[in-house]
Amino acid sequence: MDILKSLGHPEEIFNLFKFKMGGCRAVMPKLDYESMRETLRTCYVYLNQTSRSFAAVIQALDGELRHAVCIFYLVLRALDTVEDDMSIPLDKKVPMLNDFHTYLYRDEWRFTESQEKDRRVLEDFPTISLEFRNLAHEYRDVISDICHRMGVGMAEFLEKRVGSMKDWDQYCHYVAGLVGIGLSRLFSASQLEEPEVGQDTELANSMGLFLQKTNIIRDYLEDTQEGRVFWPQEAWSQFAARVEDFARPENLESALSCLNLLVTDALRHVPDVIAYLSRLRNQSVFNFCAIPQVMAIATLSSCFNNPMVFQGVVKIRKGQAVTLMMDATNMRAVQTIIAQYSQEILHKVSLSDPSRDKTLSILAVIQEKSALSQSSLPSRTHLSPMYLSAAMLLAALSWQYLSTTAAQVQGTGDAHGQ
């Protein structure tokens, strides 16, 4: 039960209740689907089906930017589905990736042979491409260009492994940095943000790299079990003969050394993240950009020096995620969050860690850039332990009651509907 995982964090329990009662509508408002044309409504259905993390923040964007980013996401999801599908032979997949941007202007192009879970976006690509062509040309030009560059990059890495740290940066640029660049250009094209947001490709690239590296670090076990290796060889070869060996208990010390090295490398993008976010002026764009970034640094803090990375999936608590989503709505709050999690990582750095000096160095830079000293960080709670215990017990019992009541109401409704 999610609430039990947050018992030591009373603010998370409060925010879970607030979220359950619709308290996040200011950040994640609901869309009026009834007023949309059918093909656009279908695109939002696909968005919600294929995105675990971005659907809500995309739908909260202002004006026409919302539709442009929705279509951008679906086009890249379709492209990514082609890349991920191991049932497509290389001699067929490579040309598809290179040419994918041209399919946006072909009314009837679709692909019905995919075995991937998100294959629907390929099977019904005509609906997505139709809505792409309904966008203003400023948006179409950005989406087509990024799709082209990403497809070429994906094709390049199909036949080569991520070897050097430079390769890692390049791979992450193709699959995520370009997304950050494309989104930034869309923000500026919408005129919700200043032109410099879309022009500064270095900062935008770092936004994507930070998220992608976090995902790659966290997904070590799932990827290696499925025969995929995204950890760079230059890093893991310092500690093991095979990257898969990190999952063996006797190799835990070496595994943690490599893990911490990669987390440290990902953290070097955080100063750019702070600089990028500080430029944003539109509230919906800020929420869209800031929420995934604070989720990422929270995830890295959970992963750092954590053996569970090699035994399962490390996830932040649901209450923690909801709290981050509700808090990360202004630059001051984001700086506070970044400072807090960088401080958490600092406390986990061991004296024997080979990357210790580099880790401490980048954490010092992050603390400086976040412009917050540890002493100035707000206290999480001022309640006494006795009141906290009582509050958490009451919250847990109330949550259980509400959940049971909701289930009973749902069951009654289902019965009446039959």
* Residue that has been written with the tokens 């603390």 in this structure: 367
Cα(1)–Cα(388) distance, integer angstroms:
19
Cα(296)–Cα(291) distance, integer angstroms:
9
pLDDT of residue 19: 47
Helix axis angle for 63-84 and 137-158, nearest 10°, is 20
For the chain, residues with pLDDT lower than 50 are 1-10, 12-21, 26, 373-418
* Residue that has been written with the tokens 């053996």 in this structure: 307
Q: Taking a C-beta distance cutoff of 8 angstroms, is the pair 228, 220 a contact? A: no
Q: Which residues are catalytic?
A: 171, 218, 228, 288
What token pair was written down for 324?
A: 């981050």
Q: Taking a C-beta distance cutoff of 8 angstroms, is the pair 42, 127 a contact? A: yes
Cα(5)–Cα(17) distance, integer angstroms:
14
The C-alpha angle 336, 184, 200, rounded to 5 degrees, equals 85
Q: Taking a C-beta distance cutoff of 8 angstroms, is the pair 128, 121 a contact? A: yes
pLDDT of residue 323: 84
Cα(272)–Cα(256) distance, integer angstroms:
26
Count of CA atoms in the C-beta half-sphere (13 A) of 260: 26
Question: Cβ contacts of residue 62 below 8 Å, gap of 6+?
Answer: 190, 192, 282, 284, 285
Q: How is the chain split into domains, by residue range?
A: 36-141
pLDDT of residue 32: 63
pLDDT digits (tens, 9 = 90+) for 18-67: 444 455 554 555 666 667 789 999 999 999 999 866 788 898 899 999 99
3-state secondary structure labels for all residues of the chain: CHHHHCCCCHHHHHHHHHHHCCCCCCCCCCCCHHHCCHHHHHHHHHHHHHCCCCHHHHHCCCHHHHHHHHHHHHHHHHHHHHHHCCCCCHHHHHHHHHHHHHHHHCCCCCCCCCCCCCCHHHHCHHHHHHHHHCCCHHHHHHHHHHHHHHHHHHHHHHCCCCCCHHHHHHHHHHHHHHHHHHHHHHHHHCCCCCHHHHHCHHHHHHHHHHHHHHHHHHCHHHHHHCCCCCCCHHHHCCCCCCHHHHHCHHHHHHHHHHHHHHHHHHHCCHHHHHHHHHHCCCHHHHHHHHHHHHHHHHHHHHHCCCHHHHCCCCCCCHHHHHHHHHHCCCHHHHHHHHHHHHHHHHHHCCCCCCCHHHHHHHHHHHHHHHCCCHHHCCCCCCCCHHHHHHHHHHHHHHHHHHHHHHHHHHHHHHHHHC
Beta carbons within 10 angstroms of residue 409's beta carbon? 10
Burial of 391 (0-12, 13-18, 19+ CB in 10 A): middle
pLDDT of residue 3: 41
Cα(344)–Cα(274) distance, integer angstroms:
18
pLDDT digits (tens, 9 = 90+) for 96-137: 999 999 999 999 999 999 989 999 999 999 999 999 999 999
Q: What is the pTM of this model?
A: 0.82
